[in-house]
Structure 1
């Protein structure tokens, strides 16, 4: 059986990264790209340059994982090593063995209270755990350090137990006793097995059928003097020849679907590679210098050729709305992404049940609300003004204003202020969105 090769980015603190890397390197499926971080604010800047070199990311804990996930920028699978019971047992043993500190005089973070109590019960340790700061997602090192420090300064605890390295370093600067929970090898191995299974699944997915629907207009590059039918026919033949060259590069087959419209049947993996995981459009050389003639392109992913062709049609129609030369991708999970190669590229739902219910309160479609939701997620906040929304959605500012006013009328948005980008321009209303 062929062994899959996974380019795995591993991002962790200086003390946890070597532990994780030593386990991962025991598996022949991985090519490791280790990255050390010292501050949560630099995580995305460390990840971005490796976007095209990494198939999946493994993080040393839930904080860096949450920062990457919530950014909406990372489109490959993400994993993190949980701080399991084995990790905590080791730390508690260290605290008691070195300084005889009872559990009741320690402050903890990350874990849920019930989780710690259950671990102690399994070890037949009957001590209260009064000080735990549980959190979901990300948290700042300063907030965690302040929580532990305040308890220690008040004499309620003798030391802290933290899962976050940056908080650990912060507390050491403050001069308080602190113990760091490091990942257990067993926890790393469990996550590694999940990553391998995910890689195998994605390998199978790459063999799925993908369909590319392209519309070309050869007359756009024809000079006014060359409007004879013979000249136009020659231009169409030339465009078809270029498409055949491109089709060969994606190992597909070309089919004419009407005047100026073509369908290419290929595989998901081929188009994924050609578009850098659906982020960019192929280079001019890869497209056989066909750029000027492309009106719109839609890529469809599906479990069958028929389903992929239907998805390609949806993507194609969305591309037409985005302007000449736009590329869009419709996936088999009901989401659509694009325009490829643009800074305002987003991935949004074509309409789940919740969005359909919200759409029923307005004249807007569930797809429009899904696009708006994706824009807000990419921006990292739920406040926006019409001109910004127009840029992201590829529509006119007046259309964006209509969307925002429609949401406001339905109670799904409120005007919270104004901004004046130009000294003499009219102020622009800023809206807070409630989806």
Structure 2
């Protein structure tokens, strides 16, 4: 089945992107061109559900749509740094004879632009740069570039935004557009295809739904016999079997009033509207929703998924009958499903969350470090060893350890020399 890729961009960028998409036989392209940012939402509205993924020609339309929040499919945009900027500067140097310090730039962060020029061997003393996070109005960019040009500080503007380019042309300002390269577009599309493969794999993950149904509440008021209770259990089981069949899963009982359904992540995602709502069990299967308390667990194995489902059920019971909670394989707990107050929080220990607040390290990184130390059976580790376990660069591992040391959660206890002429490696003792 082909990947339906929605592509929204300015006319010149869209032409480049479409030509690259044609090289991928497994992709069906849905192109949408825009001439002003104000029309983006109206253009997208009729096509929200038509694409499996979305690709935007730049940062501004991507940021606007992300903040809009109507599209839930994976999204990406084509960056303008790297070869795209090289091409523009080469043209300006060769054809217009302009130097970097005679130009004004926008979009790029100061760090990435400085790093780009350093790698290109371009020496500069000062750069005119309008950096912004997310979206920006094209007139704000045009005003910035025009003011510098009219004051005689620059000889031209370099912009990543098509609408800003058209506005600057209208004002008579020399302007040069940074367009995406075919190589850059190819790289992003390849990344989207890998993302699709990952999502397809995740859809097949084992997912367990653990449910508690209060059979006593299902009985009529007054006296009742054990036979009536048993008959009610049988009827409930029959109804849940139909529900499990819809999920293409299997049902097993786990004690009086408790049932477990084994299915896949994709199936439960569909019936819960991407884990945001509770299916109407009463309308579909005759099971009163307020009697069902449910925990959903996602895991790398059936055992892990079942453990997570049990934990999710405990969280659901804390919030009362009829509550549904989800425990994902990345330790996120989400819920209650179907309620406005739905929240997402981490199942990591409170101690790691506190350390994360005091440092620049995420709970996920700290959890990995904690697991590594537990597996090694020691609290001591070097940056080289940490890098091997985390599959990261040694300098990144050193930054993690130095951050912990700076905040008092690690200390250097010695050094080791792996090679006679090698640089000694610091050994840290971690206190998590």
User: What is the distance in 1 between the residues matched to 2:278 and 2:31?
Assistant: 29
3-state DSSP class of the match of 1:201? helix
Other-structure match for 1:246: 243
Pairwise mapping of residues 169-248 of structure 1 onto structure 2 (< 5 A)? Answer: 169-224=166-221, 227-248=224-245
Residue from 37, 55, 60 that aligns with 2:57:
60
After superposition, the CA RMSD in angstroms is 3.5
Other-structure match for 1:384: none
Q: In the alignment, does 2:3 pair up with 1:6? A: yes
Task: State the TM-score, normalizing by the size of structure 2.
Answer: 0.70
Deviation sequence 1:212-250 (CA, Å, 0-9, x none): 111223444443368444433333222211110111111
Residue from 144, 148, 161 that aligns with 1:147:
144
Uncovered stretches (5+) of structure 2, i.e. residues with no partner: 364-432
3-state DSSP class of the match of 2:153? coil
Change in 2 beyond 3 A, CA 1:128/1:312: same
The question of whether the paired residues in 2 share the 8 Å contact of 1:296 and 1:325 is answered with yes
Other-structure match for 2:312: 315
Q: Compare 201-210 and 148-157 and name the one that shifted more.
A: 201-210
3-state DSSP class of the match of 1:266? strand
Change in 2 beyond 3 A, CA 1:201/1:302: same
Uncovered stretches (5+) of structure 1, i.e. residues with no partner: 361-365, 367-435
3-state DSSP class of the match of 1:16? helix
Q: Compare 105-114 and 236-245 and name the one that shifted more.
A: 105-114
Other-structure match for 1:279: 276
Deviation sequence 1:140-185 (CA, Å, 0-9, x none): 4344333212211211112211112343344345442322212111
The question of whether the paired residues in 2 share the 8 Å contact of 1:88 and 1:181 is answered with yes
Aligned length: 355
TM-superposed CA distance for 1:66, in Å, is 4.1
Other-structure match for 2:117: 117
The question of whether the paired residues in 2 share the 8 Å contact of 1:8 and 1:32 is answered with yes
User: What is the distance in 1 between the residues matched to 2:52 and 2:94?
Assistant: 42
Larger radius of gyration: 2
Change in 2 beyond 3 A, CA 1:73/1:115: farther
Change in 2 beyond 3 A, CA 1:335/1:48: farther
Task: State the TM-score, normalizing by the size of structure 1.
Answer: 0.69
Other-structure match for 1:18: 15
Deviation sequence 1:271-306 (CA, Å, 0-9, x none): 223333323333558952324354222211101111
Deviation sequence 1:68-124 (CA, Å, 0-9, x none): 556777655432211143322443455567755554422112333324424653xxx
User: What is the distance in 1 between the residues matched to 2:353 and 2:40?
Assistant: 32
Change in 2 beyond 3 A, CA 1:200/1:232: same
User: What is the distance in 2 between the residues matched to 1:29 and 1:82?
Assistant: 23
Deviation sequence 1:315-371 (CA, Å, 0-9, x none): 2223334444332221111112233334443433234766334899xxxxx9xxxxx
Other-structure match for 1:356: 354
Change in 2 beyond 3 A, CA 1:230/1:61: same
Other-structure match for 1:373: none
